[in-house]
Amino acid sequence: MMEDSKKLEEFQAKIDADVKIEPKDWMPEKYRQNLIRQISQHAHSEIIGMQPEGNWLTRAPSLRSKKILMAKIQDEAGHGLYLYCAAETLGVKREQFLKWLHDGVAKYSSVFNYPTLSWADIGAIGWLVDGAAIVNQVSLQGTSYGPYSRAMVKICKEESFHQRQGYEIIVNLANGTKEQKQMAQDALDRWWWPSIMMFGPHDADSAHSNQSLKWKIKRESNDELRQRYIDKTIHQGEHLGLTFPDENLKWNDKTKHYDYSPIDWDEFWNVVKGNGPGNKARLAHHTKAHNDGAWVREAAIAFQEKQKLKSKIA
Amino acid sequence: MSKDNQGDLWEVFIQPKAGRPHKHVGSLHAYDKEMAMKSARDLYTRRQEGVGIWIVKAEEIISSQAADAESFFDPADDKIYRHPTFYELPDGIKHI
């Protein structure tokens, strides 16, 4: 026990000095568990996030937009894989992460449980959902766990194209016909609040926040990040003549931030608990794709075994 | 062997330009060398990040132990004369 408290002290000293923690370094079990939960949840979000976008791949309005959307979805797959690898350095196998997802033990970002009803939703996802994700991920580049931090740096480099492609869709619709502008407005109306909820509960109600900040797993609180996202996004919508679905949204000259209405947390927890419009379909689709791919994995393993046998004989 | 098996873990190193050293960029799962190479290309060079790729199975890497770092690297601690700044030069001496 004495040794543990000494180790814990040394560990916290490293964190305080901004020395990154690497996989083989000593770390408190709770630090490991927090990271396993957070990184895998992040990875699952990237992968599940491919579904609402994939919904419009075959119906993209031009070859240009289709190619771009395809590239974006490929990036999301890549980001998921970077993150799974970072999470695996904590001693959990990839198979286990997938099992936890399929069993409903692991979560992913609730925002991907909302449906993409029109092409404008693809714009709103890039502009708002990726916009919110970027605010979070830029902050996480400074996380204390080395593999997570390095994955975040790579992801941030790639992610800014995602937000621009989404905003471009919204710009084109907002500058188009009356009906097209209405599509953009409708998408903003439906995605604004879910994007704000992506930052999670208020700091006072966030189960893991304090410890995560002390260990620098997170660098800034949910509310700080949420405010930054709101502050930088409003002019992007107003510039296009779009209205945000919040009558209390206004610039506060004292705080130098936007004020906004209370968040509907019943809606948030309802979706987190699995009752959102898309929870069951998203998970069922992922599970089916994984199970349908079993024969590919089996064939690949058989091939691998054969190769090993060959090299032994030779 | 379980049907959920995701294959071996491989570490990926990318050479950004000819003449530059390969640098570790991350890892991936694959069942054999060929698949590892194609996946590394798709996963780590989608934006022309490299002109060369090295891949090695993670289990084949021999690593020093972080816990032993202090004693392991100790031999270099007392040999500051290996650095040019150790030496004193007369005033006004240049190009050395």
Q: Categorise residue B32: left if φ over 0, alpha if ψ from -120 to 50, beta otherwise.
A: beta
Are A297 and B27 a contacting pair at CB < 8 A? no
Label residue B67 by pLDDT band (50, 70, 90).
confident
* Alpha-carbon A153 to chain mean position: 14
- Residue range A19-23: average pLDDT? 95
Q: Is A98 on the interface with B (CB under 8 A)?
A: yes
Chain B residues in contact with A99 by the CB 8 A cut-off are 4
Q: Which domains does chain B have, with CATH numbers?
A: 8-86 (3.10.20.520)
Please name the residue of chain B whose CA is at the shortest distance from the CA of residue A87.
Answer: B27
The proportion of chain A whose per-residue pLDDT surpasses 90, expressed as a percent, equals 89
Give the least confident one: A1-15, A34-48, B37-51. Answer: A1-15
Q: Is A154 on the interface with B (CB under 8 A)?
A: yes
3-state helix, strand, coil in chain B (%, to 5): 30, 25, 45
| pLDDT over threshold 80, residue A108 | yes
A114-173 confidence digits (pLDDT tens):
999 999 999 999 999 999 999 999 999 999 999 999 999 999 999 889 999 999 999 999
How much is the pLDDT for A103? 95
Do residues A129 and A195 lie in contact, with contact meaning Cβ atoms separated by under 8 Å? Answer: yes
| pLDDT over threshold 90, residue A304 | no
**Burial class for A26, CB neighbours closer than 10 Å (0-12, 13-18, 19+):** middle
Of A26, A95, A307, the CB nearest to B5: A95
Q: What is the pTM (predicted TM-score) of this model?
A: 0.92
Residue B56 phi, psi (nearest 5): -140, 140
CA distance linking residue A293 with residue A81, whole number of Å: 17
CA distance linking residue A28 with residue B43, whole number of Å: 32
| Residue B43: both structure tokens together | 């996963």
How much is the pLDDT for B5? 80
| pLDDT over threshold 50, residue A284 | yes
How much is the pLDDT for A95? 92
The proportion of chain A whose per-residue pLDDT surpasses 70, expressed as a percent, equals 99
Please name the residue of chain B whose CA is at the shortest distance from the CA of residue A290.
Answer: B4
Are B31 and A151 a contacting pair at CB < 8 A? no
CA distance linking residue A62 with residue A68, whole number of Å: 10
- Smallest CA–CA distance, residue B92 to chain A, in Å, is 40
Residue whose entry in the numeric block shows the structure tokens 């190619």 = A67
Do residues A67 and A130 lie in contact, with contact meaning Cβ atoms separated by under 8 Å? Answer: no
- Residues listed for chain B: 96
Q: Is A88 on the interface with B (CB under 8 A)?
A: yes
- Residue range A53-77: average pLDDT? 96
Under CATH, domain A2-277 is a member of which superfamily?
Ferritin, core subunit, four-helix bundle (1.20.1260.10)
Q: Which residues contact A5 (CB under 8 A, 6 or more apart)?
A: none
Look at strands B23-30 and A250-252 and give their pairing. Answer: unpaired
| pLDDT over threshold 60, residue A195 | yes
| pLDDT over threshold 50, residue B1 | no
Chain A residues in contact with B31 by the CB 8 A cut-off are 300-301, 303-304
- Residue range A2-25: average pLDDT? 91
Q: How many CB pairs under 8 A join A and B?
A: 62
Residue whose entry in the numeric block shows the structure tokens 């996963």 = B43
Half-sphere exposure of A258 (CA within 13 A, CB side): 20
- Smallest CA–CA distance, residue A52 to chain B, in Å, is 22
- Residue range A30-42: average pLDDT? 96
Sketch the domain layout of chain A as residue ranges. Answer: 2-277
Please name the residue of chain B whose CA is at the shortest distance from the CA of residue A148.
Answer: B26
ipTM of the complex: 0.86
Of A75, A88, A298, the CB nearest to B3: A298
How much is the pLDDT for B3? 64
- Mean pLDDT, chain A, whole residue set: 94
How much is the pLDDT for A214? 94
CA distance linking residue A170 with residue A123, whole number of Å: 5
Q: Is B34 on the interface with A (CB under 8 A)?
A: no
CA distance linking residue A297 with residue B65, whole number of Å: 34
Are B27 and A94 a contacting pair at CB < 8 A? no
| pLDDT over threshold 70, residue A264 | yes
- Smallest CA–CA distance, residue A220 to chain B, in Å, is 26
Q: Report how far apart, in Å, the C-alpha atoms of A143 and of each of A44, A226, A279, A303, B69 are.
A: 19, 18, 29, 40, 23
What strands lie across the sheet with B52-57, from one edge to the other? B23-30, B8-15, B52-57
Residue A103 phi, psi (nearest 5): -80, -5
